[in-house]
Homo-oligomer: A and B are copies of this chain.
């Protein structure tokens, strides 16, 4: 909770108490609003929902895009954290799919997370790509562990893994309200990533 997420270095002066609280609340609310209404949601709405003036929003985040970026970074950081936790708590064979499920469960709502991962992949800003890099490292470890354990097809690599997560998020978003279909869609992707039982340890799949 504490986690003054903005890098604690950069010689930034200690923020005043209320400012600190407002900033945190803004990030919270912004994440919710962006998640619900998409990036097109107006800054005014976020301000209203966070019970601050618009000026306060722009004081903390010089631009709307900067706010979006900050929300993004927070998400990526949390995700990387949870990935690391899973790796130490479960064995490598389980951690990978646990993370897969966690990602998909975490954002049952809308597309914001997909956008987050998407942007991370494309490496937008410095901060974002910093957090994105951390997450990517976790993904590498998870994937490698699962492949060594023989539970994930060997030909899978990180770039497409990111895309698969993004795409599957979209699938589930689209199946919101149809839990049975969502379960099956998820199973399709999960099974597709699984090492083929027949081809023990070999390349991923016999043909195309």
Taking Cβ atoms with an 8 Å cutoff, the residues of A that contact B are 40, 114, 118, 121-122, 153, 155-157, 159-160, 162-164, 166-172, 174-175, 178, 181-182, 184-185, 187-193, 196-198, 204-205, 208
Contacts and interface: CB of A to CB of B under 8 A. Distances in A.
Copies in the complex: 2
17 contacts: A114-B170, A156-B188, A160-B171, A160-B181, A163-B170, A163-B185, A166-B174, A170-B170, A184-B204, A187-B204, A187-B205, A188-B189, A188-B192, A190-B192, A191-B191, A192-B193, A198-B198
Contacts of A164: 171, 185, 188
Contact of A171 (B166, B181, B198): B166
A166 B170 contact: yes
Give 10 nearest A-B pairs by CB, closest first.
Answer: A192-B192, A167-B171, A188-B192, A160-B185, A160-B181, A167-B167, A163-B174, A159-B181, A163-B171, A167-B170
